[in-house]
Amino acid sequence: NSKRGPHPHERLDAWKEAIQLVKGTYALTEKLPADQRFGLSSQVQRAAVSVPANIAEGSARGGTVEMRRYCAIARGSLAELDTLVILIHELGYAKSAEVLPLREEIDRVNMLLNGLIRYHDRKITDPDR
């Protein structure tokens, strides 16, 4: 039994919250009609999974510029996810009460990603920080 510590991305609040977001997204897509399983459902799940995956990839690459770039990609996937969640509601597949907690989680992850991006922007413009 080798003990290993957490990977660097596992220490990031943005990554932790994004994992919770994926869980909530999968719970929502389970409620979609069967005819949406390969359409809307699949697209929603891909967008959600992309968020923590990009945070992890950026973290693994180790550079400030790379981390900032992958956080921006994650933020783009988050915007896509938010739009898809709105569509699920607008198309009548979920009630407001079902999508509101997910949209709040999206906002939390977005806030954390924005903080990471600002942090890395400062490191890029002032490398001595």
For residue 98, pLDDT beyond 70: yes
Averaged confidence pLDDT in the chain: 92
Is 129 a residue whose pLDDT tops 90? no
The alpha carbon of residue 17 and the mean position of all alpha carbons in its chain are separated, in whole angstroms, by 8
Quick one: pLDDT band at residue 125, thresholds 50, 70, 90?
confident
| DSSP string computed for the chain | ----PPPGGGG-HHHHHHHHHHHHHHHHHTTS-GGGTTTHHHHHHHHHHHHHHHHHHHHHH--HHHHHHHHHHHHHHHHHHHHHHHHHHHTTSS-HHHHHHHHHHHHHHHHHHHHHHHHHHHHHH-TT-
More confident residue, 62 or 11: 11
pTM score, whole prediction: 0.90
Per-residue model confidence as pLDDT tens digits over 4-61: 667 889 899 999 999 999 999 999 999 898 888 778 999 999 999 999 999 999 999 8
Asked if 58 and 51 count as a contact pair (C-beta separation under 8 A), the reply is no
